[in-house]
Amino acid sequence: NQGNLSGAIGLFNEVLAQDALRWKTLNAIGVAYALNQQMSQALEYYKTALDIAPENVAVLNNLGLAYAFNLDFMNAEETLQRALGQPLTADK
């Protein structure tokens, strides 16, 4: 909230040290990295959050957007369609 992304990531990592299965914390770290224009790190945290909370709409949305910002439009579309609960059409 105050723009101190590295400080936020540090605090979130302290939470993960206590419980590594907190998808909301992993997702939040992904958001912090995305805001810092570090999409490869954001993608990793989103994917880990999704491993813990499969088909979680919030994580799928963030993952899809990170793919798009990373210019990986095929994965972005697929992931955002999953977030919507809609399968891709056969021609895509």
Tell me the pLDDT tens digit for each residue of 44-73: 999 999 999 998 999 999 999 999 999 999
Q: Which residues of 6-32 are buried (b: 16+ CB within 10 A; e: fewer)?
A: eebbeebeeebeeeeebbebbbbbbbb
Q: What is the pLDDT averaged over residues 23-35?
A: 94
80-to-4, 18, 61, 63, 84 alpha-carbon distances in Å: 28, 31, 6, 8, 6
pLDDT of 91 strictly over 50: no
Give me the chain's average pLDDT, please.
88
Q: pTM of the full predicted structure?
A: 0.83
Which pLDDT value is given to residue 89? 52
